Structure 1
Amino acid sequence: MTATAAGPHTRRWAGLAVLSASLLLVVMDMTILNVALPEISAQLRPGSVELLWMVDVYSLIVAGLLVTASALGDRWGRKKMLLTGFTLFGLASVAVVTADSPAEVIAIRALLGVGGAMIMPSTLSMIRTLFTDARERATALGIWAAMASLGGALGPIVGGLLLENFSWHAAFLVNVPVMVIAVVSGLILLPESRNPNPGRWDGAGAVLSVVGMAALAYAIKHGAEEGLDVRTAVTATVAALALTWFVRRCLRRHDPLLDLRLFRDGAFTSGTIAALATSIAMAAMALLLAQWMQLVQGYSPLETGVRLLPMAVGAGICSPLAPALAARVGARAVLSGGLLVSGAGFAVINLLPLGYASVAVALLLIGAGMGALAIASAVIMSGSPAEKAGSAAAIEETSYEVGGTLGVAVLGSVAAALYRGEVPPGTPESLGTALEVAAATQDAALALQAQRAFSDSLVLTSGYGAVLMVVAAALVWWRTPADLDLAAAPR
């Protein structure tokens, strides 16, 4: 094994810069897609199912591969896994120049998902091994979370600037130079680390995790779109059987592929709940708000990116401050309070007249709440032994990815159902397509009705998001020990 202890002080923080920059890029890639979707739809004319696959396939692939990629990183080397992920991410982004159909865009997003599955848990597990001091580690994870917020802000703006001057392909190609820099910097700055006693590789467990998670994500997506049909029932059954078998294997083995015994710790469980709930609500709202701003308000992609900034400002300010606030008032109060603040943001959209002023206030509150949740990563990672860093990272990232899939599939489908309920029969399911039909037929009433229906669906879906956040806050308060001290967490 190469060194797992933290290196010289400056090298640790330089390594954090590389890890945070890689996270920034992955988050940017997600948010750029939201801004680019209308132009992709206009040029490639995907069906409603293809459009959902463009958004969801990344999360589906990542969810399916996170456990296996994390376990392989623990054995092979987390640095090797991270740099391989960087390389694949860059190569998939280059491949976009040949894409001229919805199927090819979906395939490229799938390859990006494979790279993301290698990158995401590697960044978290390497932070756990770089920073052995619990207080330093909490600060590092707060910075890591702030970079995620910065990525969420830069994505729409960079995407808007690119789409103002280039085709939608540029939204993917922007990844390439950043990945080159990340590979070179990672080779120089990052130490290698791995589990010194990984145990015997569980090939059957790896297959079960991939099949189970991919089937689960697909069942959620397809069921939300088509209802409880035969395909949904079959894939849900496959997911249940595979994941049940996987869980039993993990609990019986002394060297499991994924250490589910970590859930015995209340704080670890509460951090995971916070990550899951936040991801569910935010994935749906980010997609809906980007479309509302462009297709209802008439903002350009760049103007949309700028108007989404309040969320990143709130998160960027609160994320680095969350560990210090937790030291004063307690981690439980910060975790639960962050969820409630985000819930208040969703409630603003639901209760106040819909317009950019209310949306800006809502985005600021949602971002501030997300910033407070920066300590969720600190709770999860600090509460796990260094040799279990891969399992802890895989569980957290699985929560985010499954939450994102649930958010888009369930809340996104709820919004779509509410929209369809308010437009005349025969109106295209996609708001963008409905507006194109209205423009071609010069039917101003259809355009107005479709826009109003979409706005109403956004308002009602925000109410569901607020309820979800309140329920999650109550669960987190119940499961988090009142005396939890991040600085004294197990190492």
Structure 2
Amino acid sequence: MKTVTTPPIHKRRWAGLAVLSASLLLVVMDMTILNVALPAISGELRPDAIQLLWMIDAYSLVLAGLLVTVSALGDRWGRKKLLLTGFSLFGLASVLVLWADSPGDVIAVRALLGVGGAMIMPSTLSMIRILFADPRERATALGIWSAMAAVGGALGPILGGFLVEHFSWHAAFLVNVPVMAVAILAGLWLLPESRNPNPGRWDALGTVLSIVGMVGVVYAIKHFAKDGLTDPTALVTMAVGAAALTWFVVRSLRRPDPLLEVRLFRSGPFTSGVLAALTTSIAMAAMMLLIAQWMQLVMGYTPLETGLRLLPTALGALVLSPLAPALAARIGARTVLAGGLVVAGLGFLVLFAAPLVYGWVALALLLIGAGMGSLAIASAVIMSGAPIEKAGSAAAIEETSYEVGGVLGVAVLGSVAAAIYRTALPYHGADAEAARESIGGALDVAAKLGLPDLAEQAKTAFSDSLAVTGAAGAALMLLAALVTWKLTPRTLDIAGGHH
């Protein structure tokens, strides 16, 4: 039966890759568009601090919670069906934003986008594993896929900035609708259906455990960031989440047909690829959020100017992602994987060591982007370490590491930055609480009370916090580079499988 389905897949595989890359581009853009649209949304809907946090978090919480379940569902129900359903949901949620006129509405739309995103992200990866049987072509395809993710991250703020300035923040969401419509039509025609031929019984308890575990842990990390490490709610949520995840892992190891193939971690290359994806994502998410705020609030750039000034990241990634497989063939996958983390680490170091002016920041962004670009190899390493029937599991683990990394980055490095900002701001006058909560708050207070000094102090404090977070990001990347180097076999060849 398999021989029948192979030829049509191979004929249209590059066109299929175009559909998958375009949809990924959009999902990633959506994550970054919000960074630029947030000031406008906050200005109009006046969310409190918790609601603001949920606007940012709803998407990633839902996405992180559902990735495991949804990937397992795709392996059983059909990856193409799942992907097209994800496209439809994503498009629908983007239309619903027209009726959103309260913080709660925006949070609900973001949560629905998260459900769609959870269906799209791992499906694109596991589909590439199936479309491209030849490992060399697959490495190239994954390079293109990674480059699209980087471009999405960069285009998001530019397009978002343009739409917010010229129309309204609603427009930043509506841009998804036409692309999703095209993706559904093209996907129906170009993509092959595939599923795991003998998936075994569905694990209902495992489903619940994976959702409770992921959402619990992610929620707790976010709250530790906001309320400190002794916050009782966060501690309880963390305990419940960690217990559920542990139970889930033990259960997955015992079952012959687990929801998530945890045994993949027995492979060193697989683990090193996941680690590289996780750390890059942690550092990137935090820096993008902080640098976008620094450009708008400290330097006074408009959203569109900010988006354009973030471009060096995409440039670095765009040049290096497609080149990474060829580089790996020449100097080895291990060198490219660990080297990429080192290059990104140097970018963070520039933010810490150099003066905070745009020229240096642009150099930092370029290095961070170039480091990210070489992580195209991470996908290939992860996917080469997984048998084809477990493609869904491997993709889910990789996507989960990106998602959790993003959440951890905003939570952990974001809270480091917030703590440094609070400590560095010497203001104790009227509305001190609001001023110390965030730089946006401080600038509002300064404008309201006519305190130009406070505005300057807040800008200096925020710049200090950005620099120190750069140092933390650099340390993280260099440590990850070391561990990745140790875990990846010197002879690993992603174009031809293992040695």
TM range (shorter): over 0.9
Task: Give the equivalent residue in structure 2 for 1:352.
Answer: 354
Maintained 8 Å contact 2:421/2:461: yes
Corresponding residue number in structure 1 for 2:87: 86
The residue that corresponds to 1:331 in the other structure is 333
Report matched runs for 1:367-446 at 5 Å. 367-423=369-425, 424-425=427-428, 426-428=432-434, 429-446=437-454
Matches within 5 A, 1:276-291: 276-291=278-293
Moved more, 433-442 or 392-401: 433-442
1:65-144 aligned within 5 A: 65-144=66-145
Are residue 364 (structure 1) and residue 366 (structure 2) matched?
yes
* SS in structure 2 at match of 1:488: coil
Counterpart-to-counterpart distance in 2, 1:458 and 1:6:
52
Confirm or deny that 1:474 pairs with 2:482. yes
**In structure 1, how many angstroms separate the alpha carbons of the residues matched to 2:176 and 2:296?**
24
Q: Which amino acid aligns with 1:79?
A: K
Question: Is contact 2:86–2:115 with CA below 8 Å preserved after alignment?
Answer: yes
Q: SS at 2:8's partner residue? A: coil
Flag structure 1 segments of 5+ consecutive residues without an equivalent: none
Equivalent of residue 317 in structure 2, options 315, 318, 323: 315
Residues in 2 aligned to 1:42 and 1:448: alpha-carbon distance in whole angstroms: 22
| CA shift for structure 1 position 438 | 1.1
Which residue in the other structure is 2:497 paired with?
Answer: 489
Amino acid at match of 2:289: L
Q: RMSD value over aligned CA atoms?
A: 1.4
CA distance in structure 2 between the partners assigned to 1:431 and 1:102 by the alignment: 21
1:235 maps to which of 231, 234, 237: 237
Deviates more, 1:429-438 or 1:133-142: 429-438
For 2:373 and 2:29, locate their aligned partners in 1 and report how far apart those are by CA, in whole Å. 17
From the superposition, tell whether residues 397 and 173 of structure 1 become closer, same or farther in structure 2 (CA, over 3 Å): same
2:208 is equivalent to residue 215 of structure 1 = no
Aligned to 2:186: 185
Structure 1 CA distance for aligned equivalents of residues 243 and 29 of structure 2: 35
* Larger CA deviation: 103-112 vs 319-328: 103-112
Structure 2 residue matching 1:354: 3-state secondary structure: coil
**1:261 matches 2:263:** yes
Equivalent residues of 1:5, 1:132 under 8 A apart: no
1:304 matched residue in structure 2:
306
Q: TM-score, normalised by structure 1?
A: 0.98
CA deviation map 1:25-70 (0-9, x unaligned)? 0111111111111111221222222222211221111111000000
Letter in 1 for 2:321: S
Deviation sequence 1:140-168 (CA, Å, 0-9, x none): 00000011111112111111111121111
Could you tell me how far 1:104 is from its partner in structure 2? 1.3
User: Alignment identity in percent?
Assistant: 71
Aligned to 2:197: 196
Give the deviation of 1:330 after TM superposition: 0.3
Structure 2 counterpart of 1:15: 16
**Residue of structure 1 in register with 2:177 after alignment:** 176
Paired residues of 2:9 and 2:192 also in contact (CA < 8 A): no
Q: What amino acid is the match of 1:108?
A: V
**Shift of residue 433 of structure 1?**
2.3
TM-superposed deviation, 1:427: 4.4
Code of the aligned partner of 1:80: K
Residue identity in the other structure for 1:215: G
The range that moved more, 82-91 or 56-65, is 56-65
Asked if structure 1 preserves the Cα contact closer than 8 Å seen for 2:67 and 2:119, the reply is: yes
- Could you tell me which amino acid in structure 1 is paired with residue 477 of structure 2? M
* Amino acid corresponding to residue 161 of structure 2 in structure 1: G
Between 271-280 and 158-167, report the one with greater CA deviation. 158-167
Note the C-alpha offset of 1:414. 1.0
Does structure 2 retain, via aligned residues, the 8 Å contact 1:56–1:408?
Answer: no
SS, match of residue 214 in structure 2: helix
Aligned partner of residue 140 in structure 1, secondary structure: helix
How far is 1:269 from its partner?
0.3
- Distance in 2 (CA, whole Å) between partners of 1:252 and 1:143 is 37
Separation in 2 of the partners of 1:127 and 1:5? Answer: 14
Alignment TM-score, normalising by the size of structure 2: 0.96
Q: Does the Cα contact within 8 Å between 1:427 and 1:434 map onto a contact in 2?
A: no
What residue identity is the alignment partner of 2:381?
V
**Distance 1:14-1:443 versus aligned 2 partners, 3 A rule:** same
Give SS of 1:486's match. coil
Displacement of 1:5 after TM fit?
3.9
Are the equivalent residues in 2 in contact too, given 1:137–1:382 (CA < 8 A)? no
Q: Which amino acid aligns with 1:407?
A: G
**AA at the equivalent of 1:111:** L
Q: Specify which of 272, 295, 313 is matched with residue 293 of structure 1.
A: 295
In the comparison of the two structures, how many residue pairs are matched? 491
Letter in 1 for 2:325: P
Matched to 2:318, the amino acid is G
Q: Distance in 2 between matches of 1:393 and 1:4?
A: 22
Secondary structure of 2:371's counterpart equals helix
Instruction: Label 1:8 to 1:202 Cα distance change in 2 as closer, same or farther (>3 A).
Output: closer
**In the TM superposition, what is the alpha-carbon distance from 1:6 to its structure 2 partner?**
6.3
* 1:29-44 paired onto structure 2 within 5 Å: 29-44=30-45
Q: Following the alignment from structure 1 to structure 2, what is the Cα–Cα distance between the partners of residues 170 and 65?
A: 27
CA drift at 1:9: 4.1
Q: Which runs of 5+ in 2 are unaligned?
A: none
SS of 2:101's equivalent? Answer: coil
Deviation (angstroms), 1:102: 1.4
**What displacement does 1:107 show?**
1.2
Counterpart Cα distance in 2 of 1:33 and 1:490 = 41
Structure 2 contact 129–383 (Cα < 8 Å) conserved: yes
Write the distance in 2 (CA, Å) between the matches of 1:4 and 1:109.
37
Counterpart-to-counterpart distance in 2, 1:5 and 1:321: 28
Residues 92 and 111 in structure 1, CA contact (< 8 A), matched pair in contact too = yes
- Going from structure 1 to structure 2, the CA distance change for 1:4 and 1:111 (only over 3 Å counts) comes to farther
* Displacement of 1:10: 4.2
Residues 5, 129 of structure 1: 8 Å contact kept: no
Maintained 8 Å contact 1:122/1:393: yes
Q: Which amino acid aligns with 1:226?
A: D
Q: In the aligned structure 2, how far is the partner of 1:182 from the partner of 1:244? A: 38
Task: Tell me which moved more, 433-442 or 339-348.
Answer: 433-442
Deviation track 1:209-267 (CA, whole Å, cap 9, x = no partner) reads 01111111111111121122221121111112111111111000111110111001000
